[in-house]
């Protein structure tokens, strides 16, 4: 299969040749002809599989072939993404694909001054990449109009449709023309999201190029059980022992990010952090330096979990497991991209056992455990497996004192500590499906 056979025009083929994209990825092979034909689309694909080109190439082609001139402050195609970094990245890809096309493209997102964005929009934009909050601000200030809009893309659609963005999305939908092409791209789709998506799309083609909710097989995953308070020490130990090179580390909270960065810097490690409390310019600078390999370790909240494309990143470390199991797939999808292999190591403490179990159930994979000799936890992490079961080993019962009323119910054999009728294993608990409840908007 070639891009030419998919029906792409020569200026796009030239750009792809320059980028050394020789063969379409499966999601591209499925999506490009459908989008060119004007179909609505709902596409599930693993992270790093080329989704961006899957929607951007055919949309750019449609925009240029239809040739309509974009009016002042108008937009002809809109790509909504969940994070500012992703907006920058998707737009950077689009600029490369559109190199030989007479189209104007741009990206708008929050955390930076709105005025230059308003100025830029004045001339009209053929394809705009946006985060929902800033787009609404611009719309409310009449800086952007949708009457020429012909296509809407929701990238990382599950998060976009998630409750954290529901209100902004509803307001944006209300402002869009009813007749339009809508494309949903995401690595993971929960059933609720599928239902909502069906309500938004018109006779969509469903493209599923990978099994649902499965982490990329190119990523070798394992878990190190550890006591919570010893995680920083274990991290430093592994960093030195395994001679980690470039590492993207995920921590649960903003404070957790700052604390780990401080600790690493104090020990002379070249590290920086990104999270929602840091100014956008600082976030982008840290990310750019990491991509340029000027920083060895980037510690982040889930703001960096989705969509970011870091060339040849060898290792992702989950310092804390994510609360939402799907985010695990996104986090580890930052490595093992574009045909490379990668490694994902999770430092897991006993408190996180339910999250571990939810991840294993979602990915249908029991994560192998490797104990680190000096870090074997006092609080054991109960056994888990891909069926979603957490098996809590019984505490070794104390031998009841002779004659004491409590516990001397004749359960124990005379010889001592073998429980007879006592439960061997605490009831095996089915962990509910991963949390799809409201999430924080800006991790």
Stretch binding ligand AMP (CB under 6 A), from 21-29, 102-110, 164-172, 271-279:
21-29
Q: Which stretch binds ligand AMP (CB under 6 A): 45-53, 223-231, 248-256, 412-420?
A: 45-53
Stretch that binds ligand AMP, among 34-42, 47-55, 238-246, 399-407 (CB under 6 A): 47-55
- The string of DSSP codes covering 175-209 is HS-SS-EEEEEES---HHHHHHHHHHSSSPEEEE-
- Compute and round to an integer the Cα radius of gyration of the chain: 25
Alpha helices in 67-220 (DSSP H): 84-97, 115-121, 132-140, 157-161, 163-175, 191-200
Distances (CA, A) of 90 to 38, 52, 56: 21, 7, 9
Under the criterion CB under 6 A, does residue 338 sit at the interface with ligand AMP? yes
With contacts defined by CB under 6 A, how many residues of the chain interact with ligand AMP? Answer: 14
Establish if 335 lies at the interface with ligand AMP (CB under 6 A): no
Return the residue of 8, 12, 44, 51 that touches ligand AMP, per CB under 6 A. Answer: 51
Name the burial class of residue 329, with classes exposed (0-12), middle (13-18) and buried (19+) by CB atoms within 10 angstroms of its CB: buried
In whole angstroms, the minimum distance from the beta carbon of 69 to ligand AMP comes to 29
Q: Is 336 in the site for ligand AMP (CB under 6 A)?
A: no
Among 50, 82, 124, 322, which residue sits at the site for ligand AMP (rule: CB under 6 A)? 50
Comparison of 28 and 318: residue with beta carbon closer to ligand AMP: 28
Beta strand 429-430 with 389-391 is antiparallel
Other Cβ atoms within 10 Å of 327 Cβ, number:
23
* 346 interacts with ligand AMP by CB under 6 A: no
Which tokens is 117 given? 């964005």
Query: Which class for 55: exposed (0-12), middle (13-18), buried (19 or more C-beta within 10 A)?
Result: buried
**Region of 23-31, 212-220, 239-247, 265-273 interacting with ligand AMP (CB under 6 A):** 23-31
Q: Tell whether residue 159 is a contact of ligand AMP (CB under 6 A).
A: no
Please report whether residue 97 would count as binding ligand AMP according to CB under 6 A.
no
CB of 52 to ligand AMP, least distance (A): 3
Name, in order, each residue with C-beta under 8 angstroms of 292's C-beta and a sequence gap of 6 or more: none
Dist CA 292 CA 246 (whole Å): 11
Q: Which is nearer to ligand AMP, 21 or 328 (CB)?
A: 21
Residue 337 binds ligand AMP (CB under 6 A): yes
State the Cα–Cα distance between residues 360 and 57, nearest whole angstrom: 35
Helices (DSSP H) in 297-374: which residue ranges? 325-332, 353-363
- Choose the binding region for ligand AMP from 48-56, 159-167, 342-350, 383-391 (rule: CB under 6 A): 48-56
When asked if residue 185 is in the footprint of ligand AMP (CB under 6 A), the reply is no
Closest distance of CB 47 from ligand AMP, Å: 6
92/163 with CB nearer ligand AMP: 92
Residue of 57, 81, 93 lying closest to 129 (CA atoms) = 81
Residues across the chain: 443
Q: Per CB under 6 A, does 73 bind ligand AMP?
A: no
> Could you give the angle at which helices 51-66 and 26-36 cross, rounded to 10 degrees?
20
Which CB, 28 or 363, lies closer to ligand AMP?
A: 28
* Chain residues 206-235 in contact with ligand AMP, contact rule CB under 6 A: none
Chain contacts with ligand AMP (rule: CB under 6 A): 21, 23-25, 28, 48-53, 309, 337-338
């Amino acid at each position: 299969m070639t891009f030419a056979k998919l029906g792409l025009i020569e200026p796009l083929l030239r750009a792809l040749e320059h980028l050394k994209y020789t063969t379409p990825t499966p999601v591209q092979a499925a999506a490009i002809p459908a989008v060119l034909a004007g179909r609505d689309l709902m596409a599930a694909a693993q992270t790093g599989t080329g989704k961006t080109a899957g929607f951007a190439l055919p949309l750019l082609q449609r925009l240029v072939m239809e040739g309509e001139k974009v009016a002042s402050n108008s937009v002809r195609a809109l790509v909504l993404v969940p994070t500012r970094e992703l907006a920058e990245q998707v737009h950077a890809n689009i600029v490369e694909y559109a190199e030989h096309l007479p189209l104007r493209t741009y990206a708008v997102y929050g955390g930076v001054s709105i005025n230059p964005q308003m100025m830029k929009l004045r001339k009209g934009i053929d394809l705009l990449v946006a985060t929902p909050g800033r787009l609404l601000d611009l719309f409310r200030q009449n800086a952007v109009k949708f009457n020429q809009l012909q296509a809407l893309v929701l990238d990382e659609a599950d998060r976009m449709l998630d409750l954290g963005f529901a209100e902004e999305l509803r307001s944006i939908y209300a402002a869009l023309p009813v007749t339009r092409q809508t494309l949903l791209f995401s690595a993971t789709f929960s059933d609720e999201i599928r239902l909502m998506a069906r309500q938004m799309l018109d006779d969509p083609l469903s493209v599923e190029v990978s099994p649902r909710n499965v982490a990329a097989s190119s990523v070798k995953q394992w878990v190190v059980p550890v006591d919570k308070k010893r995680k920083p020490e274990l991290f430093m130990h592994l960093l030195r022992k395994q001679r980690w090179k470039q590492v993207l580390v995920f921590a649960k909270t903003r404070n957790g990010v700052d604390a780990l960065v401080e600790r690493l810097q104090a020990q002379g490690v070249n590290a920086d952090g990104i999270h929602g409390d840091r100014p956008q310019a600082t976030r982008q600078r840290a990310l750019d330096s990491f991509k340029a390999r000027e920083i060895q370790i980037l510690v982040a909240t889930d703001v960096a979990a989705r969509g970011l494309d870091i060339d040849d990143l060898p290792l992702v470390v989950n310092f804390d497991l994510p609360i939402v199991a799907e985010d695990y797939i996104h986090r580890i999808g930052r490595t093992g991209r574009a045909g490379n292999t990668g490694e994902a190591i999770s430092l897991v403490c006993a408190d996180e056992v339910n999250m571990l179990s939810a991840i294993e159930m979602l990915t249908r994979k029991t994560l192998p455990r490797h104990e680190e000799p000096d870090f074997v936890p006092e609080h054991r992490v109960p056994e888990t497996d891909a069926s979603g079961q957490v098996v809590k080993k019984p505490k070794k019962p104390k031998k009841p004192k002779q004659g004491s009323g409590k516990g001397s119910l004749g359960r124990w054999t005379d010889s001592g500590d073998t429980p007879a009728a006592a439960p061997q294993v605490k009831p095996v608990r089915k962990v509910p499906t991963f949390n799809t409840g409201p999430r924080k908007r800006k991790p």
